[in-house]
A and B are shown apart, each in its own frame.
Chain A
Amino acid sequence: MADQTTSNAAQAESDQKYWSANVRIIIISLIIWALVSFGFGVLLRPMISGIAVGGTDLGFWFAQQGSIIVFLALIFFYAWRMNKLDKEFGVEEE
């Protein structure tokens, strides 16, 4: 009975750590998500306007194509990273 309680508590603590690690990955991913779209695509466009891309500048490319490519990379990175994290914490499904 005592063992059961200890292991439950250990499990809860491990789950808590797993959740914090997950939230950390989410936050980093969302910072990149915001940076390429709202950032490079709109607000920071004047800052990177010196970089020429096909008759216009890098900000225009980010707004029309670059951000979409980064979004794709982010989702696949997140899926890969989380599936790895699931295994590290032993919370994956069979």
Chain B
Amino acid sequence: MDQFTINLLFVGASFALYIGIAIWARAGSTSEFYAAGRGVHPVTNGMATAADWMSAASFISMAGLIAFVGYDNSTYLMGWTGGYVLLALLLAPYLRKFGKFTVSEFIGDRFYSPTARLVAVICLIIASVTYVIGQMTGVGVAFGRFLEVSNTTGLLIGAVVVFAYAVFGGMKGVTYTQVAQYVVLIMAYTIPAVFISLQLTGNPIPALGLFGDHAASGEPLLAKLDQIVRELGFGEYTAHNDDTFNMVLFTLSLMIGTAGLPHVIMRFFTVPKVSDARWSAGWALVFIALLYLTAPAVGAMARLNITEQFWPNGASGEPVSVETIESNPEYDWMATWQKTGMLGWEDKNGDGKIAYFNDGNADTKAAMEAAGWGSENELTNFNRDILVLANPEIANLPSWVIGLVAAGGLAAALSTAAGLLLAISSAVSHDLLKGQFTPDMSEKSELLSARIAMAVAIAVATYLGLNPPGFAAQTVALAFGLAAASIFPVLMMGIFTKVNSKGAVAGMITGLVVTLVYIFLHKGWMFIPDTNSFTDADPLLGTIKSTSFGAVGAAINFAVAFTVSKMTTPIPREIEELVESVRVPRGAGAAVDGH
């Protein structure tokens, strides 16, 4: 059986599993499921949250970004997990005590203002749409590869599947489908990593293998990797090459963004008790950590494998020949990925060899020229988003592992894309249309407008996914920046301070607008290419890259909110009581739908 058929089988079987579970969960337990307050077990909820939250960015994109940058991209690891600490300590228990189902409702009630609710909904929609663009980028990569078509075709096919899936996923039983998706995605991520770790270090646990010894040379794996990338003129893998300020700010943006993402926060509203909301964040992070502790090992090991494929006898030997790439089955992955347009090489000096090195480094360039390998890097294109999907092929793992990874990548992208589309469509139909403009809307037209909103969101995301503002993980980082600048501060002030409605509204608007403008100035207006005035190489304010700006936006939000609040009337007595009651778990009761 060829690889294409095997991939189709795995992807098809996993889809059948999700659909089967969705039907089973729906038929069997509707009443228990929706009786809010009894809800789902914290461990199950943790698994579902992990699947909901770990998206294409975590699964497909993150290890690739770490692999090609090394230590400096630890920001993604610390940022995306560190946010759960903020969520567990600063938001989840209080929002659960408040007892409503949506973030915008909390904001509307706490700040006793329909305007505050409206602004919150707009913030939510903007952050979520940006997030979906990142998912579509990942979906395009995954479908492009396993259907062996171009990235663009893959993206268009993916868009149709995501739409169908999101409409379907909107039905009951989503939680158990996500549990299944978690199981598929974590197996797909760790099984190849175990194989690769065994090959390279003899250690079956990749997270430990990363700090173990390289079996072939006996040296520590990371020391070996540092040595070979240094010889090719790249920055050392474990060294700090980027600027520290930006690294700290970016990590902080991802952390507060995680704690500000509505589709994650919503998860903690459904557990039975306030104490469960506290445990629940911990369980979610346990399941997320299984992937996040493996990811740095996947990145480092893949980088070593790729580099050694281009330089089979080390950087002082000969680079790989075009003939080897074309005839040796170990290099088949390069031909398959070339078809997607995300990998490219060119024998620029016509010597029959493909020399991969950093031609931006003058010393390396001179050394390569002296050795007769030309003065230009001949690996012309290596999209970092393909790394995780290509990894098992690069390591020559059995074809069923490759099929499994294809299924896992799609599970990650689909579960998050579906969750986000649901959040967007319900925000538009429920919070915007029914809540603000046409309160007497029928249930039928509400449902219809939700579907239309979903279709519009996916069309926008697909269009922008064709020209994404960055790799999947970087685009997602922008979405986190927007959530960080708008939603997180207002939720925190709602619980920990007595900021009033005018302060909250002013804070949210300034935080969102300033951050959005900063991002658009760097990534193009509405993310349309070539409309940008700056790039991340020449940031607007000193060293602050657009992906790191969320933390600054949040600080501006806080500052504006406090200032405006101080200058206007204090909150009414009953809201003061509301704030005090949210702080104490006693008498929480079940969450209610307040619409």
Question: Hey, which bits of chain A sit against chain B, CB under 8 A?
Answer: 15, 18-19, 22, 26, 29-30, 33, 37-38, 41-43, 45, 53-57, 60-61, 63-65, 67-69, 71-72, 74-76, 78-79, 82-83, 86, 90-93
Contact in complex: B293, A92 (CB < 8 Å): no
Smallest CB gap from A57: residue in B: B238
> Does B222 interact with chain A (Cβ within 8 Å)?
yes
Known: A30-B89, A75-B88. A42 touches B223 (CB 8 A): no
Known: A55-B226, A56-B222, A67-B78. A93 touches B585 (CB 8 A): yes
> Does B38 interact with chain A (Cβ within 8 Å)?
no
Contact in complex: A33, B85 (CB < 8 Å): yes
Contacts of B428 in A (CB 8 A): none
Contacts of B71 in A (CB 8 A): 60, 63-64
A56 to B78, CA, bound (A): 18
Contact with A along B204-227 (1 / 0, CB 8 A): 000100111000000111111010
Most buried by A among B74, B221, B293: B74
Contacts of A57 in B (CB 8 A): 238
A53 to B213, CA, bound (A): 11
Contact in complex: B89, A71 (CB < 8 Å): no
Contact in complex: A68, B289 (CB < 8 Å): yes
Pick from B167-175, B273-281, B336-344, B355-363 the stretch touching chain A. B273-281
Contact in complex: A67, B81 (CB < 8 Å): yes
Contact in complex: B583, A68 (CB < 8 Å): no
Smallest CB gap from A54: residue in B: B211
Main secondary structure of the interface of A (DSSP, over half): helix
Contacts of A91 in B (CB 8 A): 584-586
A76 to B224, CA, bound (A): 37
Pick from B153-161, B244-252, B407-415, B525-533 the stretch touching chain A. B244-252
Contacts of B222 in A (CB 8 A): 54-56, 60
Q: Which of A19, A33, A55, A93 contacts B587 (CB under 8 A)?
A: A93
A82 to B251, CA, bound (A): 27
Most buried by B among A38, A75, A92: A75
> Does B114 interact with chain A (Cβ within 8 Å)?
no
A24 to B424, CA, bound (A): 37
Contact in complex: A75, B296 (CB < 8 Å): no
Known: A64-B77, A92-B275. A75 touches B285 (CB 8 A): yes
Contacts of A22 in B (CB 8 A): 583
Contact in complex: A79, B584 (CB < 8 Å): no
Smallest CB gap from A32: residue in B: B85
Interface residue total, chain B, C-beta cutoff 8 A: 50
> Does B90 interact with chain A (Cβ within 8 Å)?
yes
> Does B9 interact with chain A (Cβ within 8 Å)?
no
Contact in complex: B275, A33 (CB < 8 Å): no
Contacts of B240 in A (CB 8 A): 42, 45
Contacts of B293 in A (CB 8 A): 65, 68-69
Contact with A along B66-93 (1 / 0, CB 8 A): 0000010010011001101100111001
Contact in complex: A55, B223 (CB < 8 Å): yes
A61 to B222, CA, bound (A): 11
A52 to B90, CA, bound (A): 35
Contact in complex: A54, B221 (CB < 8 Å): yes
Contacts of B210 in A (CB 8 A): 54, 64-65
A79 to B84, CA, bound (A): 13
Contacts of A76 in B (CB 8 A): 279, 282
Contact in complex: A92, B282 (CB < 8 Å): no
Known: A55-B223, A93-B275. A42 touches B82 (CB 8 A): no
A48 to B88, CA, bound (A): 29
Q: Which of B212, B226, B282 contacts A75 (CB under 8 A)?
A: B282
A–B pairs, 6, beta carbons within 8 Å: A15-B584, A38-B251, A63-B78, A67-B77, A83-B278, A91-B585
A78 to B275, CA, bound (A): 10
Known: A18-B584, A54-B211. A82 touches B93 (CB 8 A): yes
Contact in complex: A55, B248 (CB < 8 Å): no
Contacts of A83 in B (CB 8 A): 275, 278
Contact in complex: A33, B586 (CB < 8 Å): no
Contacts of A74 in B (CB 8 A): 85
A74 to B82, CA, bound (A): 10
User: B81 to chain A: closest CB distance in Å?
Assistant: 5
User: B289 to chain A: closest CB distance in Å?
Assistant: 5
Sample of 9 more A-B contacts, CB < 8 Å, known A42-B240, A71-B82, A93-B273: A19-B584, A55-B223, A55-B238, A64-B74, A68-B289, A72-B285, A79-B278, A82-B275, A83-B278
Known: A38-B251, A79-B88. A63 touches B93 (CB 8 A): no
Contacts of A29 in B (CB 8 A): 85, 89
Contact in complex: B285, A71 (CB < 8 Å): yes
Contact in complex: A42, B90 (CB < 8 Å): no
A42 to B247, CA, bound (A): 8
Contact in complex: A75, B281 (CB < 8 Å): yes
A69 to B90, CA, bound (A): 19
Contact in complex: B275, A55 (CB < 8 Å): no
> Does B292 interact with chain A (Cβ within 8 Å)?
yes
> Does B286 interact with chain A (Cβ within 8 Å)?
yes
User: A32 to chain B: closest CB distance in Å?
Assistant: 9
A78 to B89, CA, bound (A): 7
Known: A56-B238, A64-B296, A93-B273. A41 touches B282 (CB 8 A): no
Q: Which of A19, A30, A55 contacts B219 (CB under 8 A)?
A: A55
> Does B555 interact with chain A (Cβ within 8 Å)?
no
Contact in complex: B585, A86 (CB < 8 Å): yes
Known: A19-B584, A60-B238, A79-B275. A41 touches B74 (CB 8 A): yes
A86 to B588, CA, bound (A): 13
A71 to B285, CA, bound (A): 9
User: A42 to chain B: closest CB distance in Å?
Assistant: 6
Contact in complex: A72, B74 (CB < 8 Å): no
Contact in complex: A61, B211 (CB < 8 Å): yes
User: A17 to chain B: closest CB distance in Å?
Assistant: 11
Contact in complex: B282, A56 (CB < 8 Å): no
Contact in complex: B81, A71 (CB < 8 Å): yes
A43 to B584, CA, bound (A): 36
Contact in complex: A42, B251 (CB < 8 Å): yes
User: A84 to chain B: closest CB distance in Å?
Assistant: 10
